[in-house]
Amino acid sequence: MHPAFKLNRTWLGMGGVPLHDEARAYAWERRLHGVMLGAALLAIPAFYLVEVQRELDLRPFGRALEWTIFIAFSLELLWMLHVTRQKLRYLLGNWLDLLIVLAAAMSIAGHDTEWMAWARLLRVAMVGLVLTRALAEIRVLFSPGGLPYVFGFAVVALLMAGAGFYWLDPTIDSYADGVWLAFVTAATVGYGDIVPTTPASRVLAAMIVVVGVALLSMVTASIAAFFIGEDEKLLRKEMHRDIRQLRGEMAQLIDEEERRLRREMHADMRELRDELRRLREELRARQADAHRG
């Protein structure tokens, strides 16, 4: 990962495990991506059930979801501090998690007290913080291999939204109609054959529009990342082929140069032997002349 990108994520409180830490810390970070993404997305129905939905008294379910978010982020923070060697650096680089835990705890503590207005404000802030944290968990979707995750998340979201429409709107007669309404809403098509009629279903439809636009953007980005990844694989293969060819040519040149040097060395050695032989013969001739004289 580029150091500047890592530093910016640290400023945002989503730094993850610091560099040069324990291997199991990185392994646990990867394992908890999906779990924490699910926990983060629970903030939307929790806020809806507690603050928006008024026709049915479903606030206990919303509070239960808030407790789930609080427990999930608390346990994740404590466990990652346990498996990480650089505990203080991890805490400073992931201050957003600590802020989410504190906001969730204060929001839960503000139920049915004189601090209810502050609890609502904290709940809105917590939704924003948790969804910001979710951005760190969905970065895997913007990769060449992230397209199946995008489609899987889209299917689950549409099925859940279909159940929500069927439950909240009395004009929707079947679960299949609810899923169809969720699909045309998420795709921003709006045929008009089925429409949300109650305030609760309209709020849900507005959320589905936002989710649908986000999903379409993620699908586009994932498809682009897929093709870019394929191009990168092709370029990498071509580069490896060129490197192998270059290595072969270099090895051939080295062999030819080595053979040439050996031939030259042998020729020099032969000339040197001939010269030595000639010198010995001259020396013997001079010695013979000296004995005769």
* Single pTM value for the model: 0.52
For 59-106, the pLDDT digits (tens) are: 788 788 888 988 998 999 999 999 999 999 998 888 878 887 887 787
Determine the Cα–Cα distance for residues 260 and 268; give it in Å rounded to an integer. 12
Q: Is the dihedral angle over the CA atoms 233, 238, 243, 247 positive or is it negative?
A: positive
For 140-186, the pLDDT digits (tens) are: 555 555 667 677 777 888 888 888 888 888 899 899 999 999 999 98
Q: Distance of alpha carbon 257 from its chain centroid, rounded?
A: 50
**Distances from the Cα of 40 to the Cα of 172, 212, 258, angstroms:** 29, 18, 66
Determine the Cα–Cα distance for residues 165 and 230; give it in Å rounded to an integer. 40
Q: Where are the alpha helices (DSSP H) in the chain?
A: 3-11, 23-31, 33-41, 43-47, 59-83, 87-93, 95-109, 116-137, 147-168, 175-186, 199-292
